[in-house]
Structure 1
Amino acid sequence: MMTLSKKLWLTFLVFVIVTVGSAFGLAYILYEKLYVDSVKEELVSTAKKLAYDYEGGELDQTFIDQVNWFSEKSHFEAFAVRNPRELAACIPYEADYDTLIGPEEREQLLQNKIIEETGYSERFDRQIISIIVPLLEDRKLNGIIYLYVPLERIDELASSLVIYWTAGAVVIMSFLLAAGMKWTRHLTKPLKDMQSAAVRLSKGDYSARVSERSNDELGMLSKTFNEMANAIETEDELRKTFLATVSHELRTPLSYIKGYSEAAMNGMEGKEKQIAIIHRESKRMERLVNDLLELIRLDSGKMKVDKMPLPFAEIVYRTVETFRPAAKNKMIHFDLNIDEDVIVNGDEGRLEQVMTNILDNAIRYSNKGGMIQITMIQEKETMKLLICDNGVGIQEEELPRITERFYRVNKARTRNDGGSGLGLSIVKQIIELHDGELRIESMEGEGTTVIILLPVLT
Structure 2
Amino acid sequence: MSRIHAPRKLRTRLFVGIAATVAISTIVMLAVGSALTRRSLDEDARRALIRQVDLIAAQHVSSPLPRRDSDIGRFLATEEERLAIVTPEQAELLLPGGAADRLRRSGRAVGTVSVRGEPFLYAARLGGGDAIVLLRSTHNQSDDWTPFLVGLALAALFGLALAAGVAFLLARAVARPVTRVAEASKQLAEGGEPDPLPVEGSTELRQLAASFNELSEELRRAQDAERAFLLSVSHELKTPLTAIRGHAEGLSDGVVDPNRAGEVIERETHRLERLIRDLLDLARLRRRSFDVALAPVDLGVIAEDALARHTPQAEQYGVGLDVRIGSGASAIADAGRTLQALSNLVENAIRCTPQGGVVVIAATPGRLMVTDNGPGLAVEDLGRAFERFYLWDRYGADRPVGTGLGLAIVAELAEAMGGHVTVASTPGAGSAFTLVLEPALLSDRTAYARLTQR
Q: Please, what TM-score do these two structures have when normalized by structure 2? A: 0.59
Q: Tell me if the contact between 2:362 and 2:368 (Cα under 8 Å) persists in the aligned partners.
A: no
| Aligned residue number for residue 455 of structure 1 | none
Which stretch of structure 1 is more off in the superposition, 251-260 or 362-371? 362-371
CA distance in 2, matches of 1:252, 1:360: 11
Kindly report which structure 2 residues correspond to 1:235-254, keeping only aligned pairs within 5 A, or say none: 235-254=222-241
Residue 38 of structure 1 corresponds to 44
Counterpart residue type for residue 212 of structure 1: P
Shift, 1:319, TM fit: 2.5
The counterpart of 2:91, out of the listed 76, 87, 90, is 87
**Secondary structure of residue in 1 paired with 2:66:** helix
Which amino acid in structure 2 is aligned with residue 222 of structure 1?
A: A
Partner amino acid, structure 1, of 2:81: F
Which residue matches 1:4?
10
User: Structure 1 length normalisation: TM-score?
Assistant: 0.58
- Taking the aligned partners of 1:114 and 1:300, their CA distance within structure 2 comes to 95
AA in 2 matched with 1:62: P
In structure 2, the residue corresponding to 1:270 is in which secondary structure? coil
Unaligned runs of 5+ in 1: 137-141, 302-314, 337-351, 373-387, 403-410, 428-437, 453-458
Q: Which residue of 1 aligns with 2:136?
A: 149
1:22: how far off? Answer: 0.9
Q: Which residue of 1 aligns with 2:54?
A: 48
Q: Which residue of 2 aligns with 1:130?
A: 122
Counterpart for residue 212 of structure 1 = 198
Give the total of aligned pairs: 366
In structure 2, the residue corresponding to 1:285 is in which secondary structure? helix
1:404-423 aligned at under 5 Å gives the runs: 423=413
Deviates more, 1:144-153 or 1:9-18: 144-153
**Residue matched to 1:225:** 212
Q: In the TM superposition, what are the counterparts of 1:259-408 in structure 2 within 5 Å?
A: 260-261=247-248, 264=251, 267-271=252-256, 272=258, 274-289=261-276, 319=296, 330-334=324-328, 371-372=364-365, 389=367, 391=369, 397=383
Mark the CA change 1:355 to 1:283 in structure 2 (over 3 Å): closer, same or farther.
closer
CA RMSD of aligned residues (A): 5.4
Deviates more, 1:115-124 or 1:23-32: 115-124
Q: Structure 1 residues 133 and 175, CA, compared in 2 at 3 Å: closer, same or farther?
A: closer
Query: Which amino acid is 1:319 matched to?
Result: P
Go from structure 1 to structure 2 and tell me whether the alpha carbon gap of 1:114 and 1:164 turns closer, same or farther (over 3 Å shift): closer
Q: Does the aligned pair in 2 maintain the 1:333–1:371 contact within 8 Å? A: yes
Deviation at 1:193, TM superposition (A): 3.1
CA distance in 2, matches of 1:70, 1:26: 38
Give, as a single letter, the amino acid of the residue that structure 2 aligns with 1:246: V
Check conservation: 2:50, 2:123, Cα contact below 8 A.
yes
Per-residue Cα deviation, 1:109-146 (whole angstroms, up to 9, x for no partner): 43x3533223566733x5x332232348xxxxx44322
Q: Which residue of 2 aligns with 1:349?
A: none
Q: Quickly say closer, same or farther: Cα 1:439–1:354, change in 2 above 3 A.
A: closer
Supply the distance in 1 between the matched residues of 2:363 and 2:434 (Cα, whole angstroms).
10
Cα distance change of structure 1 residues 30 and 357 upon mapping to structure 2, 3 Å threshold: farther
Q: Is the 8 A contact 1:399 1:440 kept in 2?
A: no
Q: Does 1:116 align with 2:101?
A: no
Deviations 1:31-76 (A, max 9, x none): 322x2222122111122222324559xx98737999x879446943
Query: Is the 1:79–1:146 contact (alpha carbons within 8 Å) kept by the matching residues of 2?
Result: yes
Q: In structure 2, give the amino acid aligned to 1:77.
A: R
Give the drift of 1:396: 6.9
Give the distance between the partners of 1:333 and 1:60, measured in 2 at CA.
140
Are residues 1:19 and 2:26 paired? yes
SS of equivalent residue, structure 1 residue 319? strand
Any conservation in 2 of the 1:193–1:210 contact (CA below 8 Å)? Answer: no
Cα distance change, pair 297–209 in 1 and its aligned pair in 2 (3 A):
same
1:191 and 1:50 map into 2 onto residues whose CA distance is 72
**Preserved contact between residue 28 and residue 154 of structure 1 (Cα < 8 Å):** no
* Deviations 1:257-295, CA, capped at 9 Å, x for gaps: 35654774xx43135254344234213223434556677
Do the aligned residues in 2 keep the contact of 1:78 with 1:146 (CA within 8 Å)? yes
Structure 2 CA distance for partners of 1:268 and 1:442, relative to 1, 3 Å: closer
Equivalence for 2:99: 100
Percent identity between the two aligned chains: 15
Instruction: Give CA-to-partner distance per residue, 1:226-245, whole Å, 9 cap, x none.
Output: 33223223322322232233
Asked whether the equivalents of residues 357 and 424 of structure 1 are also in contact (C-alpha less than 8 Å), the reply is: no
Task: Evaluate the alpha carbon distance shift between residue 390 and residue 245 of structure 1 in structure 2; reply closer, same or farther with a 3 A threshold.
Answer: closer
1:380 match: none
* Alpha-carbon distance between aligned partners in 2 of 1:263 and 1:362, rounded to the nearest angstrom: 25
The 1-side partners of 2:68 and 2:327 are apart by 136
Rounded to whole Å, the distance in 1 between the matches of 2:146 and 2:269 is 101
Change (3 A) 1:253 1:447: closer
Could you list the runs of 5+ residues in structure 2 that have no partner in the other structure?
1-5, 305-322, 347-359, 372-380, 389-400, 425-431, 440-454
Q: Which moved more, 1:327-336 or 1:176-185?
A: 327-336
Q: Are the structure 2 counterparts of residues 359 and 38 from structure 1 closer, same or farther at C-alpha, using a change threshold of 3 Å? A: same
Kept in 2, the 8 Å contact 1:47–1:145? The answer is yes
Listed one character per residue, the Cα deviations across residues 321-375 of structure 1 (whole Å, up to 9, x for unaligned) are x668669985433499xxxxxxxxxxxxxxx986768987999999877653xxx
Q: Is the 8 A contact 2:237 2:272 kept in 1?
A: yes
1:332–1:326 distance in 2 versus 1, CA, 3 Å: farther
Task: Between 233-242 and 354-363, report the one with greater CA deviation.
Answer: 354-363
Q: Counterpart of 2:269 in structure 1: which amino acid?
A: S
Give the residue type in structure 2 aligned to 1:130: Y
Superposition deviation, residue 8 in structure 1: 0.9
Whose RCO is larger (CA < 8 A, sep 6+)?
2
Letter in 2 for 1:29: L
